[in-house]
Structure 1
Amino acid sequence: MSPPLTKICGLSTPDSVGAATKLGADYVGFVHFPKSPRHISLEQAAALAAHRGRAESVVLLVNPDMALVDQALATVQPAILQLHGDETPLFLGEIARRHDVKLWKALPVRTRADLAAANAYRGLVERIIFDAKPPPGAQIPGGNGVRFDWELLRDAKLGFAWGLSGGLDPANVAEALRITRAPLLDISSGIEDAPGQKNVDKMASFLNAVRTS
């Protein structure tokens, strides 16, 4: 079984991007969503992507219109566009027709029935990211440090590429892998000192825990 892939999301400084790459992360993620404490401009994301080394860059948008999608892809030129809102399969299909970019779609999960929503995106996206549903009153759809019941994914035979997000940290990632066997782990708040402030030591601990689990 191949080791799981890792994505460090919500990066906002050259040092944090460089550290993620040096420590072996497979993907580095940049959030363009003004309500998020991890929000950066597209121009900043483009500059940071230059420090990504061997890692692939991911731009995360939430409920964008097509004009913003066009702008983000032209400015940052990421390998992957991750949609983290209520984007429909129809909208993702239109992106795929307009752009040669890999698409990831994040889906909120609380119950087993929520997993079934992924079927609507089959053939449209490269990967589904299962994230916890945000708590009531949350201003952002992800990065809230909340996990869902990982048992929902135990022995899941999904038939498509996917990843696990939501509430991961260096202390619990081994448990997450033991239960879910997730092929990709996507972390943001679990390696921060404060929202948007990445801690390199926590990042190193997380990536080491993934490798040794």
Structure 2
Amino acid sequence: MSGPQVKICGVKDIDTALAAARAGADFLGFVFFRKSPRFILPEKAEEVILDLKEASFEEGFALPKLVGLFVDAGEKELSEAPTLLTHFQFHGHESPERCKELGDEFAVEIIKALPVSVADDVLKAGAFEGATDIILFDAKPPPGAGRPGGHGVSFDWTAISSYTGETPFMLAGGLSPDNVADAVASQKDHSGFLGVDVSSGVETAPGNKSADLIASFISAAKGSK
């Protein structure tokens, strides 16, 4: 499947991981933030990853890149992450220096999430140039929210037009099978656009992913012109 890359975030079990990988997901995200309804224990995530890797070998589908999501995590928490992760995704107050340092220390690529509501928020990505591998522009959480993402809210995608950095970026926030094609189309002329990230938009309840919604989302995203 060609088209933009797709990240399915908040994977909690092997069935979801298999459904996403078989449908053509490019990234799978595992949430190691305890306040999230999508939280998974590191040892459980490792089991899922190993089972997925075995299925990938047996069935012949491509193994997605494997992302661990953290919010202001300490060294102990990061060191407990599954060893097969390819990326760390940071949703907290991690500085560019901290991102670069941790990428080098753990030999992983870094995704830095930046909350967006207006075009000026996008400009903050400039500080992370050279310190991260992917920028994730996510919708700002609602006031009083206890976690930085997964709320199903969106932002004005045209705000991304102010981004001129060389680091590739993904869009997140309020995406679903119904609107992801529009989101992709809104960025078709932006050279830095890498793909889209979804969590709540493919769920039937917080933390409960639907294989049908995942397949529909990936098809809609990658079928966009």
- Tell me, yes or no, whether TM beats 0.5: yes
**Structure 2 equivalent of residue 25 of structure 1:** 25
Aligned pairs for 1:42-57 (under 5 A) are 42-50=42-50, 51=52, 53=56, 54-57=63-66
Q: Distance in 2 between matches of 1:93 and 1:178?
A: 31
Identical aligned pairs, as a percentage? 40
Partner amino acid for 1:180?
A: Q
Matches within 5 A, 1:60-79: 60-72=69-81, 75-79=82-86
| Structure 1: gaps spanning 5 or more residues | none
**Aligned-pair distance for 1:101?**
0.8
Distance (Å, rounded) in 2 between the aligned partners of 1:131 and 1:123 = 20
One-letter code of the match for 1:39? Answer: F
1:47-196 paired onto structure 2 within 5 Å: 47-50=47-50, 51=52, 53=56, 54-72=63-81, 75-154=82-161, 156-181=163-188, 182-196=193-207
1:97 to 1:155, Cα distance in 2 relative to 1, 3 A: closer
* Structure with higher RCO (Cα < 8 A, 6+ apart): 2
Higher alpha-carbon deviation: 51-60 or 116-125: 51-60
Deviations 1:4-61 (A, max 9, x none): 1010000111111000010000111100111000001000111111215311111101
CA positional deviation for 1:178: 1.3
Give the AA of the match of 1:43: E
Could you tell me how far 1:121 is from its partner in structure 2?
A: 1.0
For 1:17, the aligned partner's letter is A
- One-letter code aligned to 2:31: V
Query: Aligned residue pairs: how many?
Result: 210
**Offset, 1:88:** 1.1
Q: Which residue of 2 aligns with 1:15?
A: 15
Conservation of the 8 A alpha-carbon contact between 2:90 and 2:113: yes
Q: What RMSD over aligned residues (CA atoms) do the two structures have, in Å?
A: 1.5
> 2:76, 2:96 → 1: CA distance?
17
Residues 153-175 of structure 1: CA deviation (Å, up to 9, x unaligned): 24854322110000000000111
Alpha-carbon distance in structure 1 between the residues aligned to 2:210 and 2:127: 37
Structure 2 distance, partners of 1:155, 1:93, is: 24
Q: C-alpha offsets along residues 78-128 of structure 1, whole Å, 9 cap, x if unaligned? A: 011111111111221321342211111000001111111111111111100
Provide Cα deviations, 1:58-89, integer angstroms capped at 9, x if missing partner: 110111012222222xx343011111111111
Report the CA distance shift for 1:155/1:134 in structure 2 as closer, same or farther (over 3 A).
closer
Distance of aligned partners of 1:93 and 1:211 in 2 relative to their CA distance in 1, 3 Å threshold? closer
State TM-score, norm by structure 1. 0.94
Moved more, 167-176 or 44-53: 44-53
